[in-house]
Chain A
Amino acid sequence: MRKEQLETILDSITPKLYGFCTALTRSEQEAEQMFVDAYTVFILKEKHFVAEMQFDIESKKDRVSTKRYFLNEILKEIYELARVRNPKNRYDNSSFLEYESFYDLNIQKRAILYLKDVANMSIEDLQEVFVLQRHQVIELLHNSYYGLVKDIKDFNETSLETL
């Protein structure tokens, strides 16, 4: 694969990758750094494979599968990096303030909610990113939804009790 082809593919998946980084950390600067670091780790690991990769830009099937490969692999690196770094929950953008209940969740739960509901990934792709079985992905997803609304439920119940 040529460098230009690689950069074109990366260009098309950058918004999803960056969005994923901002789901794992509230700081935009940390998100940018995480993106660059994860890509560097990925390309260093896979440079021979990527260089030898046969890619026909005219074939839609080739484009889709190559894009999927890069997306899943880089998401995996971002997720691993976030787990190791465990970014602090400080924010440098006030728009993150309204997602308090989301950022209170742990990294794994935030990651799966973002990828499933915002990035619209299939269960099969999530299995690949999280290296889990189908039933484990579904279980994690349900726990994450529960965690997301737990505080709201608790708050509503307490307010009703005090009335």
Chain B
Amino acid sequence: MRADHYESLIASYVNGTLKLKDRDKVEELIGIDASFNEIYLRKKQQKDFYLQLIPNQTLPKNVKAYLRAEIKKVNNDVFPKEKYHMAKKVYQFLTEPIIEI
């Protein structure tokens, strides 16, 4: 196999796009061969650089509370009759015979 093929395999490994069955093979290559290890480190640095360019916004506490309240509101609108269902279930249980002969 050509060297550039191995390079793209290592790049896929670093990017997390490699299939599961090939992961062990690539890890072995990186572990035993210094030149492959060098490629791996280069690709890893490149990947870390990309990561710095992508925002990773954390969820502020006040926004979390607001979103939680909004979800609750939506859920109450969409599923309003839980009590009714419960009452209906109890009514059914009391009126329908458990064993029929």
| A interface residues (Cβ-Cβ under 8 A, vs B) | 3, 6-7, 10-11, 14-15, 18-19, 22-23, 28, 32, 35-36, 39-40, 43-44, 47, 51, 95-96, 99, 101-102, 113-114, 116-118, 120, 122-123, 138, 141, 145, 148-149
**A39–B67 Cα gap in the complex (Å)?**
10
Evaluate contact between B75 and A43: CB separation under 8 angstroms: yes
Evaluate contact between A145 and B75: CB separation under 8 angstroms: no
Query: Would you call the interface of chain B mostly helix, strand, loop, or mixed?
Result: helix
Residues of A within 8 Å of B50, CB to CB, are 113, 117, 145, 148-149
Contact of B54 among A18, A35, A44, A99 (CB under 8 A): A99
Q: Which residue of chain B lies nearest to A1 when distances are taken between CB atoms in the complex?
A: B79
Interface hits, B1-53 → A, CB 8 Å: 15-17, 49-51, 53
B71 close to chain A: CB less than 8 A = yes
Tell me whether A15 and B78 are in contact in the complex, defined as CB-CB below 8 angstroms, given that A36-B67, A116-B16 are known contacts: no
Contact of A28 among B54, B63, B68, B71 (CB under 8 A): B63
Contact of B59 among A10, A15, A122 (CB under 8 A): A15
* 20 chain-A/chain-B pairs, Cβ below 8 angstroms: A3-B82, A7-B72, A14-B68, A18-B64, A23-B55, A35-B70, A36-B70, A36-B71, A47-B78, A51-B79, A95-B57, A99-B53, A99-B54, A99-B55, A116-B15, A117-B51, A118-B54, A148-B50, A148-B53, A149-B49
Tell me whether A18 and B59 are in contact in the complex, defined as CB-CB below 8 angstroms, given that A7-B71, A101-B53, A114-B54 are known contacts: yes
**A18–B59 Cα gap in the complex (Å)?**
7
Residues of A within 8 Å of B68, CB to CB, are 7, 11, 14
Evaluate contact between B56 and A118: CB separation under 8 angstroms: yes
Query: Would you call the interface of chain A mostly helix, strand, loop, or mixed?
Result: helix
| B interface residues (Cβ-Cβ under 8 A, vs A) | 15-17, 49-51, 53-59, 63-64, 66-68, 70-72, 74-75, 78-79, 82
Q: Which residue of chain A lies nearest to B75 when distances are taken between CB atoms in the complex?
A: A3
Q: Which residue of chain B lies nearest to A101 when distances are taken between CB atoms in the complex?
A: B53
**A6–B49 Cα gap in the complex (Å)?**
38
Evaluate contact between B53 and A14: CB separation under 8 angstroms: no
Evaluate contact between B79 and A18: CB separation under 8 angstroms: no
Residues of A within 8 Å of B53, CB to CB, are 99, 101-102, 148-149
**A51–B17 Cα gap in the complex (Å)?**
36
Residues of B within 8 Å of A44, CB to CB, are 78
**A114–B53 Cα gap in the complex (Å)?**
10
Evaluate contact between A36 and B74: CB separation under 8 angstroms: yes
